[in-house]
Each structure stands twice: as C-alpha cells, then as structure tokens.
Structure 1
C-alpha cells in the first residue's frame, strides 16, 4: 500500500511540474520544437518565465510563423537564410537570445529596436558589411558573435554601448582605425584573431578602458608602437601570437593591466622577433611577478643582452625551455633556459 501511495505521489508531482513548465506555450512553428526556459523554483513550484524555439536544420529561408509572443530564445542555426532582418524580431518583447549560425546570411538589417536582446550570434555566414549605425538599436546587447564571416571593416560601425563581448575572428578586417570602438566602455572581451590587420595605431583601443582580453593572433602586424596598449589598464590577456612582429618599442606595453589584480599574459610567440633585451620590457620588469611572456617560435639571436634579460625577468619569461636560439651558429637550437655565454660580463 505504501509503495502504491509513493507511485501515485510521484505521478502527481511530475504532472504538476509538466503543467508548470509546458502549460503556457500557446503555439509553436511547424517542425520546430518549443520548450520552457528561464526556470527556477519558487515556493515549492518551478516557474518558467520564457520559451525557447528551436528550428535547427530545417532548410528555412525565412522566419517561420507561429513563434510564441513570450519567446526568450530563438535558434535558427544550420538553415538557408540569405539575410537576417532583425525587424522581424522587434515584436518579441522578451527575446534575449537569437542564434543564426551556419546559414548563408550575406546581409544584416535593422531599423527597429529589439529592446531586450542580449545575445546575437551569426557565426559562419557570408556577411561582408555591418549596418553603420543601427546596431545601436540593440540597446541591451551584451554578446555579439560574428566570427567566420567576410566582414571587411568596422571603422564606421557604431556598436551597442552595453556590449561586453565582441568576437570577430576569421574575417577580412585590414585595419583598426582610431574611433572604431568609440563609446564601448563596457567591452571586456575583444577577439580579432585571423584577420588581415597589419597596423596598430596608438589610439586604436583608446575607448576600451574596461577591456580585459584582447586577441590579435594570426594577423599581419609587424610592429608594436609605443603606448599601443596604454589605455587597457584593466587588461590581463593580450594575444599577439603568430603575426609578423619584428620590432617592439621600449614602451609598447606601458600601463597595460596596471589596474588589474589578475596574473597577466602577453603572447608574442611565433613572430619574427630577433633581438630581446631588458630595454624593451622595462615597464613590465618592474611588475614581473604579475606577468607571463611567451616568445617561442621567434628567430632569436642569443647574445649577452638576451642572457641579461632572461636572468632579470626570471619566471616572467614563461617558456624559456621552448625558446631556441637561431643564431649565432654556435648556439643554434640551444634553449634560452640552458643558454650559457661565458664571455658575458654583468
């Protein structure tokens, strides 16, 4: 009898939870699946404040009919959209997440605010140009994912002021003109890996005073001018790996991260840096316990200047065992960690 009572109770609980979760979904587009979202337990009941609509890989070419008015998340990945018109989503007053990855989107349009949208992802599409000013209509947007497109420029684009993450890896960007990120004081993460950026201006990142992570790996940068990152006082991760860097200036990294208490990393590995010395990293050496620098894969010339830098930097050079001398000939393939030059006088 006790067992029967437990089974009946369990069935009633499941039925109750199902009614709380699913009873309020009034409609769902054909072939899509809809479910409750933004759920939490309140006074012994599970209350859901949102609905997700998942239309994954259905061959869609336009936004389907029948999306519930209470929708908070719409997933349209792996379809055949040629364009995304954000005006189609303006009437959904609770929409927070819109995913349109892996389509054929070549054009992005917006003329009407989508007031509560916080996350927009259009990865792996064919977008070449962004709306110059109207992205600012996405006033609540916090995350914007645009990697793996064909975007050529952003200097005229005005991004939403509340944006915290902007991902632009694997596009066709060639420059970062001063003012490209104006009024983006809340941006924390900026990823620009694998573009065609060849030059950094001293004011390229002037408006990003809250930036913590900057990734520029896999570009065509040859030089880091003085004070390139001086406005990034809250930064802790800077990735310049796999560029064409052949010159660093004594104050290239001055003031980078000085307001951030985290441990800092600067990736300079796999570039064309030949000469390394204390003179180039004076500012960082004064804070060496807070930094890790990486240099492996550079054609390093091993001389007394490098040896002095190694001994003074200590653990700040994080990959000493992977940095191999490329010249002069008597030190080829000796790691910086094992380097010993008897003729140096310190």
Structure 2
C-alpha cells in the first residue's frame, strides 16, 4: 500500500464588496471593454478596511472543515500560502490557528506569490507522505488590494481579494494512477526574472511598496512554463493530457488560461474558469476555483485534475491529483 494525501474537504470565502470594471472608469483611462478584452475580468472582490488576510483565510478554513465533517483539533497542521500576510511576523497561519480555536499541531506560511498554493500543496503532500502529519489544512488567501498602485491601469484592474482552502488527509492507495489524492508535483523557480513581477518595497527597505509587472513578458513566460510543468507533472503521475478531466489553473488572465489549454491540446470546456468574477487573487485563485468548481458540480469524486500556476520569482509549478 502507498500513502496518499487525499482531498476530503474544500471551501472558500470572498469579501462582500464586489467591484465591477465600471468602478475604475472614473479614475483611470480605462473601460469595461478594455479590461474584459485584455484579461477576461468583469469584477472582483475587495476586502473591507478592517478585514485582514487571516480573517479571509479563517473563514475559508471553516468552510473546508465543515465540508469535510471535521473539527479544528482533527487537523495536525495549517499551511497558508500568501504574499499579503497581516504582519511581518508571526505567520498568518498561526493567526488562523488561533481563530479556529485549534490547540494542537503547527502552522506556517508559504510565500511563492501566485504559485504559492501549488508550493503549499506540494509541501503538505510531502509531510503526509513522510508521516509528519495525517491531516493538513492548505489555504491560499490574499488581500492584494492593499498593494495596488491605483494610478497604474495595467495592474490595479487585474487583482482581487479572497481565500480558498482544502483539507488533505492521509489515506492508503494502491500506488497507481488510479489512487485518489495527489499523484505528482512539479516545482520550479528562476530568480533571474525578478523584475518582471515584484513589489517595490519590503521590510528591509522600510516601505510597503506597490505591485509592479511587465505584463507582456509575464504572459510570454506563463503559457510556455505552465504547459511544460503540467505535462511534466502528468508524466510523473503516469498520465497524459487525454486523461485529464479538469485543468484548474491559476486565474490570472483568460488569455493565459486559453493559451495554456491550447498548448496542452485540451478544450476550454475542460477548464474551470472563475477569473471573470474573482480577478487574479494570487495564491487564493486555485483553491477558490477548486471550491467553486466543486460547488458547481463540475469537479466530481474520481476526476483527474491538473492545477498549475506561475507568479513572481519567477516561481511556477503544477500538481496532479485525483479528486
């Protein structure tokens, strides 16, 4: 028998405030048509002034626990993927641990920007396979609205806030691609491309900073690298693109999503898409899409999923799992 990290619960949370594209027209040289045509985004959610990343994460975590039929103390660990933690330290994950009333186990953050949830999934999988934990809450949560330059129409219209979470549980499988759970992971980074997507501030520079992006360059890298990492992860799992029921991609831009699917030879009717109503929620986008796709009835038990993401670093990767 082979240990597998199996998804047993999923949930998400979106802030109440919905921001349509039209809201940007008063302050920027932009339009609903311009934003839609370049990104596929129609609206996004922004956190309330008193709402933090850990607040969003805790609500998504509660939804995932409820979906799994579990209590906080049934969980051994929390791994929270975020680039917009409440404080420099402690980790937002420990704040979620406290908010849930979880009095055992351990919690920490993972920071790989938009690829953060893929990195967190890979880390959680390794911990379950090694016997370090039996149940792990894996969360992606962001408040990217806090790092936007509202004068930069090329970035501020693209991002939103939100959180998604899954519960991974150790189960036994037969060691084949027919098993439920995570079947393969594939991670990469290349720090030479830092200037393509970054925040121009931080603790050691004593400034908060704003997100900066060379959109055309990020697009060029994204399609090529996402298709390649997805195909590598499938190969590791002993599967091919034809075996995939759903691609659940990082929801950055509809053109990147379409380009990646095309490069993999898959139709868009096999892709879970939420970017139109969530915008780019960075590390939250994949778990949000997993939760919404499950809620819609698209993702069903036994389906083969590929999740892939790329973000600042550049950092990118993919996970293949059977739901």
Q: TM-score, normalised by structure 1?
A: 0.21
Q: Which has the larger radius of gyration?
A: 1
With CA pairs under 8 Å and 6+ residues apart, which has the higher RCO, 1 or 2?
A: 2
- More helix as a share of residues: 2
TM-score, normalised on structure 2? 0.22
